[in-house]
Every structure is written in structure tokens, then in C-alpha cells.
Amino acid sequence: MIDQTLIKETVDYLEKKTCLSFIESKNEYTLYNKYLRFKRSNFCGIKYEPAGTLTSPYLTKPVEIYVGPNCRSYFIIGHLMMHGLGFHHEMNRKDRDS
């Protein structure tokens, strides 16, 4: 079973530290029309459709976040959630070295 307390703490942390606000459903959290669905797994990762923008109307399939035994930290879960919402690492920005 997925540690719902850890997921909730991660969501609370992101809401407190960012301007993001999520709507909770069973094993899912919604931001605009992006659904983050948490699934138990033996690994940590995400499965999602090609990004686009956060508010694109065609992004209606849930982003599946796989929660394995090695990702029981709200830093890791938050990291995966941010990727699922379309955020990328700063080192990948095209304007990074300009």
C-alpha cells in the first residue's frame, strides 16, 4: 500500500512553498487538468504523455507516479510530482549558459 501520509505531506509542502494548489481524490491529485495518480511499484518513476503546457486542454490522461520502496521521501515524491507537471531540471534550460 502507498504511504498516504507521505503523499499528503509532500502535497502540503509543495502547496506551502509554491503557488501550486492541488485537489485531492483517491490516490490522485489534480492541478488544473493534470491528474497525478500514485501507484505502488518496485521502482520510483513517472509515466506521462508528452508535456505541452500545464494548462493545455488535451492533457487529460493521468500522470502515473510509481512509488517504490526506495522513494519514501517527500523530496523524491515532490521531485517526481514536479516532473509530472511538466517542470524540468534547470540544467536542461536552453538559456542556461547565456
Q: Which residue stretches of 1-98 are H helix? A: 4-17, 74-84
**CA dist., res. 24 & res. 58, Å (int):** 21
88 is an annotated ligand-binding site residue: no
Write the Ramachandran bin of 86: left for phi over 0, alpha for psi from -120 to 50, otherwise beta. Answer: left
- The DSSP secondary-structure symbol of 62 reads P
83 is an annotated ligand-binding site residue: yes
79 is an annotated ligand-binding site residue: yes
Tell me the binding residues for Zn(2+): 79, 83, 89
Tell me the binding residues: 79, 83, 89
